[in-house]
Every structure is written in structure tokens, then in C-alpha cells.
Structure 1
Amino acid sequence: IPMQEPPTRMLGSLNATLSATLLLRLPANHTGPGCLHVSIPDGLFLVLGLVSLVENVLVVAAIIKNRNLHLPMYCFICCLALSDLLVSCSIVLETTIILLLEAGTLVTTATIVQQLDNVIDVLICSSMVSSLCFLGAIAVDRYISIFYTLRYHSIVTLSRSQRAIAAIWVASVLSSTLFITYYKHTAVLLCLIAFFLAMLVLMAVLYVHMLARACQHAQGIAQLHKRQHPIPQGFCLKGAATLTILLGIFFLCWGPFFLHLTLVVLCPQHPVCSCVFQNFNLFLVLIICNSIVDPLIYAFRSPEIRTTLREVLLCC
């Protein structure tokens, strides 16, 4: 990052192929005519990052504290919280460094800043990849618990889940290092896009199948008790609403970022695509919001975790 130029935001190297958006933190007057540009203050990055940091630290602390939560399902939730924690810490760290550089408080050479930027990019990218992987792992774990209930504890053992977690972390770090190193290759962006689509399809198929099975089960219970259809229909509507919220939040928070990568591949020089590139910081805010929402969906809904959290807060 040349010291005379504005510092880049996360994964700025992904835009290095774009002459119009070489630097992601462009001033407002660099926005093309007719483009809708949403300005994101650095303070918002810090506030959202700190909120996510506190939430996910509480989740990790609760799971570590309570031995009853040392189960494969909660291990995946804990790792998801760690991934979201790394996303928040990385973005907060980068934003802080950017503010210090702009204020002139932090004085260093361009080489050191470039190396630091690469390290933070790898950290953020690996935490994002691992976060998506653990979202998929949680969906698979819940699917097995519903469709293979009697064999669940023999299929999803603690040792197997630990090996899966270790493999996810190693794969995330290695793949992210390769992504950042070879960012100029189109194949790298295509792999990232394909990975996101695969996780989206996996979660959608598994959760829809689980909802269908739950509706069939509710229908069977209603018929067994000679009741009418409103009870299972209401249950199915509630389940469908929950599923829509879950997948909708996932797509809303992650979709714009991967849309950005798709446009980098398809139309890097097109004026319309350049308008989308101007809002890259907004896409990052949505990813941070996902790390805030994840504990609410996957962790805080558990009574055991809520009880442990109260104990942790009282001890503090």
C-alpha cells in the first residue's frame, strides 16, 4: 500500500485488476455519475466489530465453561463463534491501523504496511472461509440428528468432530493463503464463488428436507390424535418462516460480497459494475452483521447456553 495513496480495505488485492477501483476506499468524489454510493464511516466498522466481538466471546466462554456443552454440536457452534470472532477482530484491527495511518500517528514504511495488509487479508479470508464451512457443518450435524437419530451418537462422535474441525481450520488457512497469493488469477475468484454457492445449496437442501420431515411428523401426530390439519399447518408455516429467515439472512449478508467477486470476473470495466464496486465497504458491513446475527440464531436460542451465560456474567 503506497503511503501516498489511501489505504485499501479488506481483500483490496481482489480489486487490483480493476483500473476504476484499484483502491476500495475511494473518496465520494471518485464515484461515477449516477452511481448510488453508500458512505460507511470507520466508526461503524469499529462499533459493529466490537459488538460482534463481545457476543462471540460470550458464546465461546459459555461453551468452554459448561462441560455439558462439550458435545459435537456445540463444538461446531463454538468454532463458528471463533470464526466470527476472527472476522470482527481482523476488521477492527485493520480499521484501527487505517485510522492511525490517516492520522499520521502510525509511521512505517510501505513494505511493512504491505506485509501487514497481506497478513490481515489472509486472516480475514481464512476466518470467512471457516465461518461458511462451520455453517455448513452445523447444517449437516442437524440433518444427521434428525434423519439418523438412533445412530447419531455413533456417527457424530467427539473424535470425528474434532478431526473435522481441525481439517476445516487447516483447509481455511491454506486456501486463504493461496487465494491472497494468487489473487490475480480468475480461477481463484471462481473457486471462491463456487464455494459460496456450494454452501448455499447445501444449507438450502438440508434445511428444506428437515422442514419437510418435521411437517410429515407433525401431520402423523395430528392424525394419530384424530385432529384436523390446522395444527400441523401452523407448525409448518412457522418452520417455513424460520427457514426463510435463516437462509435469507445468510444470503443477504454474504450474497453482496460474492456478487462483487462475480462482477470482478464478468465485467470489471463496465460502468454499471463499477457502481457496484463503489459499495464494497457496505458489503463488509453486512458480513460483520452476519457475525452479530450468528450467535442469536445458533447459540443464544439454546437454554443451556443462556443459563451458562448468566453464570458467566454473574461471575464477571
Structure 2
Amino acid sequence: LLNAIHHRSALSQENLENETNSTAGERNWLNCVQIRIPQELFLALGLISLVENILVIMAIIKNRNLHSPMYYFICCLAVSDMLVSVSNVVETIFMLLNDHGLLDVNPGMLRHLDNVIDVMICSSVVSSLSFLCTIAADRYITIFYALRYHSIMTPHRAIIIIVVVWLASITSSILFIVYHTDNAVIVCLVTFFCTTLVFNAVLYLHMFVLAHVHSRRIVAFHKNRRQSTSMKGAITLTILLGVFILCWGPFFLHLILILACPTSPFCNCFFRNFNLFLILIICNSLIDPLIYAYRSQELRKTLQEMVLCSFCFDV
């Protein structure tokens, strides 16, 4: 799917180049800034992101204090980020080996590899958005239904939600790859992105406006502490969503422009930096684990213990 999007962008640029080379004004768009990204940077960022997310997943599995629905969802979010990292590393290694003549791959194998990578990336974006919504709903229940939280969000229900999200993400991704030439695929992705943003925005607005009023109803100290912890989780999720929008926003804007103005000089200038948008997506996978560690003292402590133990073992 990503290759198809990039190919359609390149075709739009080529068509526009053929149509606009007569006047100086029409040639100006050819001078637009195009940032070239070396393949080695893709590989380095992908490997760092992969290691970070593996550490987060291992820390959540290791520490029993983190065995709660919210951290189950965060673990799945880390798996989603890891899918981006793995797909990027595999694709970059193949491209580097092919560019240096160290790998002779037939077109059929490359096509299958592209399909697998695209399924992984599509599954990542769909599952990431889904789990961001799930975590938002979990924080909402924690804040406004604190006394009934453990009866509403049980571990069994959390596991069911996780299974449904992954099945839906993988199934929809396969369908997207099968029908990647249809504009409906891009429309579905953009619509899903916008819908999840609206859903989260509504929950956040309700949480942050009414949380103060709700907290006054809870008098006991330990419940106040729970309320504070819940709001901290909501703030963490807000940061995660903000980073997600910043990193994935240009890519979804790219999709919108493909539908809205595929032959416009301005839009084609935007298309020329497709690799930059991919780098931003990888950066999202790299930044998320840092947010988890910074915002959660328990997770940070577990990560530190794991890194120190690994270092001592190596020594």
C-alpha cells in the first residue's frame, strides 16, 4: 500500500512535469525543497526503536505490578510500534543489500515482501489508533466510574478487547492491500484516523473539564490518590496522542492530498518528501517508549533494573 501511494505520488509528479515546463511560474515548483533521507538513517532509527519497544514489552511482562488492563493496552501499543520498526529494518536491509549487489531477489519475491511489510505497517496504524482509543476509554472509566472500575474493566474483558482489535487490524490491513489501487482504501484510512481523533477529543474534553468536579465527590484519601493516578494516566495518553498526530499527521495529509489535488504543483512538492513522512512514523515508534518510561515510575524502575542487570551480565 505504501509503495502504491508513493508510486501514485511519483506518477502525479511526472505528469505535472510533462505538462508544466513552458513558463517560469510553472517551473518554480520544481525547485521546491526535497529532503533526501539516507537508508542508513532508516536502519539506525528502526533498530533503536525495535530495542526500545522490546524492552517496554519485557518490562511489562516481568513486573507483576504492571499487570493491569491499562498496561496490557500499552504493551499492545508497543507491539504496534514494534511492527513499524521490524518492517522498516527488514525493508531497509533488503534495499541496502540489493543496492550494493549483494542480494539477487526476483520480482515475485520482492512483491510478496512488499505485501507483508505493508500489512505490518497498516496493522500498526490501525491497531495504534484503536489502542489509543481503548486506553482513553479505560482512563475515562477509571475517572468517572472509579468504584466500579474493576468490575467493568476486568482482565478477561481486556484480553477480549485486545484479541478483537488485533483481528480487526490484521483483517482490515489485508483487505487494504488487496484493494490498494482503489481510492476507497485511502478514504477509509483517513476517515478512521479522523474518527479516532474526534472520539479521543470528546473523551479528553469531558475528562479534563469534569474531573475536578468529580474529584470533590471522593473524600477518602486513598480514593483521591486513585483519582490523581487516573488523571496522570489521562495526561500520559494525551501526550501519546499528541506525538502520534505530529508524527503520522503528515502521512495522512499526504493521503488527503492524493485524493484532493494529485496534479497541483503545491501538492506535488509535498509528495516529494514522502520518505521524510516515513521517518516521522518511525520516530513515533522511537518516542513512545520514552514517554512510557518518563511518565510511569514503576515502568521506569523496571527498565532501569533490566538494563543494569544486562550490563552487569555482559561485564
With the shorter chain as reference, the TM-score category is 0.7 to 0.9
- Residue 14 (structure 1) aligns with: 5
Structure 1 pair 213–106 and aligned structure 2 pair: CA distance change class (3 A) = same
The sequence identity of aligned pairs, in percent, is 58
- Residue 121 (structure 1) aligns with: 118
Contact map agreement 1:38 1:279 (CA 8 A) in 2: yes
Structure 1 pair 304–20 and aligned structure 2 pair: CA distance change class (3 A) = same
- Residue 302 (structure 1) aligns with: 296
- Residue 145 (structure 1) aligns with: 142
TM superposition shift of 1:17: 3.8
From 258, 275, 282, the counterpart of 2:269: 275
Task: Select between 241-250 and 290-299 the one with higher mean Cα deviation.
Answer: 241-250
The letter for the 2-side match of 1:82 is: V
Contact map agreement 2:13 2:263 (CA 8 A) in 1: no
- Residue 106 (structure 2) aligns with: 109
* Counterpart check, 1:188 vs 2:185: yes
The alignment yields a C-alpha RMSD, in angstroms, of: 2.4
Contact map agreement 1:38 1:282 (CA 8 A) in 2: yes
- Stretches of structure 2 that go unaligned for 5 or more consecutive residues are 15-27, 218-231, 311-315
Which of the pair is proportionally richer in helix? 2
Task: Give the distance between the partners of 1:244 and 1:301, measured in 2 at CA.
Answer: 12
Contact map agreement 1:126 1:172 (CA 8 A) in 2: yes
- Residue 83 (structure 1) aligns with: 80
TM superposition shift of 1:242: 7.7
Task: Give the distance between the partners of 1:247 and 1:274, measured in 2 at CA.
Answer: 28
Task: Give the distance between the partners of 2:151 and 2:33, measured in 1 at CA.
Answer: 54
* Counterpart check, 1:212 vs 2:206: no
SS state at 2:262 partner: coil
- Stretches of structure 1 that go unaligned for 5 or more consecutive residues are 1-9, 23-30, 222-237
Task: Give the distance between the partners of 2:126 and 2:292, measured in 1 at CA.
Answer: 18
**4+ aligned runs moved over 6 Å, structure 1:** 238-244
Partner deviation per Cα, 1:117-173 (whole Å, 9 max, x = no partner)? 111111121122111211111111111110111111111111111011011111111
The letter for the 2-side match of 1:214 is: A
TM-score by length of 1: 0.82
Partner deviation per Cα, 1:49-75 (whole Å, 9 max, x = no partner)? 122112111110101111221211110
TM-score by length of 2: 0.83
Contact map agreement 2:34 2:272 (CA 8 A) in 1: yes
Task: Give the distance between the partners of 1:275 and 1:241, measured in 2 at CA.
Answer: 36
Contact map agreement 2:53 2:78 (CA 8 A) in 1: yes
Task: Select between 201-210 and 273-282 the one with higher mean Cα deviation.
Answer: 201-210
